[in-house]
Each structure stands twice: as C-alpha cells, then as structure tokens.
C-alpha cells in the first residue's frame, strides 16, 4: 500500500479539484536476473528521513518558476522494497515527477553495481524509465553483463556498419527515424534516407488538405536531393535537372533462410545483425529533367507530359513543389505517416505523426527500409 511519508506543503483548499494519485509501477520478476547476494558484513541503508538539500533546492525552484503547473510537493520513500533488494546490495536515490498540481519527490533503491564488481568480480547493468507523469518508477530491469560470442560480435559489427552507410546516404543531415517528432498539417517532418531534412527548411513542408498531398520548398530538391534548379519568373516555371549518377553501394541482403521482412524484429529500429550480410552493388539513376509550372496540373518529364495531382504553388513567397512526385522521378520510395502515430516508445506510448519518409536507391536497405514504415505507414 502506498503511504506518504510526509506532506511538506499546505493542504488543498476548500473547493479545489480532487488531486490525482500517482500509481506505483511494477515490472515482472523475470526482468531481474538472480543477484550475487549481499557482501559479507553489508547491511541495508536506512530509509532517508527527507529529501536532500540539493533536491529541495531543485523542487523549490520549479515551484517558483512554474506556479501555473505546481502549487505543492510531497515526499515518499519506496515501501515495501522490491524483492530484488534481497539479492543485491543497494543504495537510495531520489527522483521527482508531476501529477496534477503536485510535484512528487521520492526515494527508490538502486543496485550498487560498483560494490558488486569490487566484492564479487561480476558486472551488472540496470535500466529505468524517467519522468513519467503520475507514476513512481522503480528500477525496471537488472541484467548481468557478459562477453559477447564471436557470432554476436559479428552481428553487432554489421549493425554498426549499417548505421555508417545510412549516414553516408544522407550527408549533412543528422540521423533521425522520426520516432519523437510529431507534426501537424502545417508542419510536416521530412526525412531523407533517415536524415532529418525538415530542420534545414526555411519554410516548413505542409499538407494541402484539398488534394491530400505534401509540398516542400524547392530548396529541398536542389540542396538535399542533388538536383540543379532554375526559375523562369516570366513563365512561372521551375526546371529541375537530376544528373545521371552511378555509385557502388553496400546493400543489405538477407542471410540464407531469411527474406527482407525477416530482417527487423517487431518494434525494432535496426535490422537484426544475425540475419543479413552486405553485398556491393552498382546503383544507377538516369538523368532526368522536370519542368513544373506554378498552379499548372501537368509536368514535363524529359519532354513528356505527366499529370500532377498536386501542382506547384507559391506559398509565403516560396516555391512549393509536390514531394512525392519529385522523389519518385529519381527512383525513390515514399512513405506517408498521418495523424496516427507509428512508433512505440520505451514507455509504451505511441509517437511520430505527420511525416514523409523518402528512401533513394542509394539507401543501404532500399528494399525494406524500416519495420515501422513497412507495417504502419502508407506506401505511396
């Protein structure tokens, strides 16, 4: 049963809304590997009688700076202790979280991994979620570290090499899968080969809800997609020229017994290093010239007329072009993420909305670039 050790602020006044009660998080016993026991002569530390001076100063500063969010704080010491404390030496640590208008400060036990290594010659690691509202968070898991086998080392090496080639496929852009980015129709996140392109825009990409298509500033096409762009102000025409490119690209190919959908475990960002190998392949994209006229629903692609479902427009003094059409002309794959989030975060919540993901043939896993996108996004 949850018992508050002390209430350090004034009580709720008459007529105030009922204060929310935090929950105490619990995790299954299998999250905690058997420990080495207590060292000889070690005794559990007594519960702290109150928060540290450092924590008190932090809390009082928050109350001063955010009176619109919190009007009080309280203190709690974890009780009863988790069962894993019977198998590991441990110490107390402090944390805080908000729930309603109260800032809850609490002490919780943490395994003393340095003492364990010193006394037993064994190494353990632990994990914990932080700052989840209305939730007292304990240590989430404890595992013993061990030497990787040769096969595991090779698998980890392949995953590291994969990330290297991902970064090479979007030079100048920071790596980002979009898992923590939530946009809206007036601000669409654009990712090129898992590189964050939107942060380089001088005006945001947006969703034209009349045709349900996303437009991006023409600068994206010229600076990040490698095209030469010219503007004819009299004819209100944009000419986009993609040069022919031939490049040797290390490609991810499934190991024997696996196919591309097998490469990702569910909810995983990286492919499983045990299930793929790299194969050098020659990738070529042809020269292509695209002419777009502002507000005109037909494009010229290498002199051939192609209808557009989203013609280019002028918006906020910037030329905005249909991203899917342009990307597909250079052989890219395009995925759309709308209002429904597709990424599951570590705390179980869903995130990632209003995004466009573009993958060119030079991406190392063009055939199946992401478990999240292939299973939850819309493939144009």
> How far is 62 from 288, CA to CA, in rounded Å?
57
> How far is 36 from 69, CA to CA, in rounded Å?
44
Three-class SS of residue 18? coil
Give me the DSSP letters along 50-101: S--HHHHHHHHHHHHH-TTT-SEEEEEE--SPPGGGGTS-EEEEEEEEEETT
Q: What is the pLDDT of residues 217-265, one digit of tens each?
A: 988 888 788 889 999 999 999 999 999 999 999 999 999 999 999 999 9
* Cross-strand pairs, 322: 215
- For residue 226, the model assigns a pLDDT of 86
Three-class SS of residue 196? strand
Q: How many other β-carbons are positioned within 10 Å of the β-carbon of residue 334?
A: 19
Q: Does residue 4 carry a pLDDT above 70?
A: no
Widest pairwise Cα distance in the chain: 87
Q: What is the pLDDT of residues 320-377, one digit of tens each?
A: 999 999 999 989 999 999 999 999 987 778 999 999 999 999 999 999 999 999 999 9
- For residue 113, the model assigns a pLDDT of 95
First to last CA, the chain: 52
- For residue 220, the model assigns a pLDDT of 86
Per the listing, tokens 């988790």 go with 82
Mean per-residue pLDDT for 81-97? Answer: 96
Question: Which residue in 171, 177, 174, 182 sits closest to 369, CA to CA?
Answer: 177
> How far is 134 from 68, CA to CA, in rounded Å?
17
Q: Does residue 12 carry a pLDDT above 90?
A: no
Q: What is the pLDDT of residues 133-186, one digit of tens each?
A: 899 999 999 999 888 899 999 999 999 999 999 999 998 888 999 999 999 999
> 4-20: b or e for each residue (b if 16 or more CB lie within 10 Å)?
ebeeeeeeeeeeeeeee
Task: Give residues with Cβ within 8 angstroms of 344, minimum separation 6.
Answer: 267, 350, 351
Asked whether the beta carbons of 35 and 124 are under 8 A apart, the reply is yes
Is pTM beyond 0.85? Reply is no
Q: What is the pLDDT of residues 108-137, one digit of tens each?
A: 999 999 999 999 999 999 999 876 789 999
103-106: long-range pairs with CB below 8 Å, 24+: 103/59, 103/62, 103/63, 103/70, 103/72, 103/73, 103/74, 104/22, 104/73, 104/74, 104/76, 104/136, 105/51, 105/55, 105/59, 105/73, 105/74, 105/75, 105/76, 106/75, 106/76, 106/77, 106/78, 106/136
CB-count burial class (<10 Å; 0-12, 13-18, 19+) for 147: exposed
Asked whether the beta carbons of 42 and 35 are under 8 A apart, the reply is no
Cα dist from 344 to 24, 290, 349, 353, 371, whole Å? 22, 39, 6, 12, 12
- For residue 18, the model assigns a pLDDT of 61
CB-count burial class (<10 Å; 0-12, 13-18, 19+) for 67: exposed
Given pLDDT bands bounded at 50, 70 and 90, which one contains residue 290? very high
H/E run at residue 218: helix 218-223
> How far is 174 from 189, CA to CA, in rounded Å?
13
Show the tokens assigned to 357.
């993901």
- For residue 3, the model assigns a pLDDT of 31
Asked whether the beta carbons of 216 and 201 are under 8 A apart, the reply is yes
- How much is the mean pLDDT over the chain? 91
Q: Which of 13-22, 229-238, 311-320 has the lowest mean pLDDT?
A: 13-22
CB-count burial class (<10 Å; 0-12, 13-18, 19+) for 202: exposed
Q: Does residue 11 carry a pLDDT above 50?
A: no
């Amino acid at each position: 049963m949850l018992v508050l050790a002390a209430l350090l602020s004034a009580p709720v006044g008459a007529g105030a809304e009922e204060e929310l009660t935090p929950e105490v998080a619990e995790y299954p016993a299998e999250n905690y590997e058997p420990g080495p026991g207590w060292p000889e002569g070690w005794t559990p530390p007594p519960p702290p009688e109150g928060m540290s001076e450092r924590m008190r100063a932090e809390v009082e500063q928050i109350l001063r700076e955010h009176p619109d969010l919190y009007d009080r704080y309280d203190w709690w010491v974890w009780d009863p202790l988790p069962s894993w404390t019977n198998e590991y030496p441990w110490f107390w640590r402090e944390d805080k979280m908000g729930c309603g208008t109260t800032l809850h400060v609490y002490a919780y036990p943490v395994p003393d991994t340095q003492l364990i290594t010193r006394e037993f010659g064994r190494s353990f690691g632990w994990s914990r979620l932080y700052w989840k509202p209305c939730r007292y968070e304990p240590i989430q898991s404890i595992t013993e570290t061990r030497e990787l086998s040769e096969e595991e080392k090779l698998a980890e090496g392949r995953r590291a090499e994969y990330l290297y080639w991902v970064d090479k496929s979007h030079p100048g852009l920071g790596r980002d899968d979009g898992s923590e980015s939530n946009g809206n129709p007036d601000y669409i996140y654009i990712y090129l080969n898992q590189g964050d392109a939107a942060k380089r825009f001088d005006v945001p990409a947006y969703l034209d809800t009349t045709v349900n298509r996303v437009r991006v500033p023409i600068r994206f096409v010229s600076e990040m997609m490698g095209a030469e762009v010219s503007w004819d102000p009299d004819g209100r025409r944009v000419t986009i020229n993609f040069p022919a490119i031939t490049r040797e690209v290390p490609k991810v190919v499934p190991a024997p017994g696996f196919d591309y959908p097998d490469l990702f475990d569910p909810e995983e960002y990286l492919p499983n290093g045990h299930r793929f190998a790299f194969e050098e392949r020659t990738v070529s994209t042809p020269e292509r010239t695209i002419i777009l006229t502002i507000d005109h629903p037909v494009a010229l692609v290498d002199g051939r007329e192609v209808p557009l479902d989203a013609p280019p427009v002028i918006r906020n003094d910037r030329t905005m072009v249909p991203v899917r059409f342009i990307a597909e002309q250079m052989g890219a794959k395009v995925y759309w993420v709308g209002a429904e989030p597709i990424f599951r975060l570590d705390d179980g919540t869903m995130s990632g909305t209003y995004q466009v993901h573009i993958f060119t043939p030079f991406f190392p896993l063009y055939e199946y670039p992401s478990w999240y996108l292939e299973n939850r996004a819309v493939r144009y």
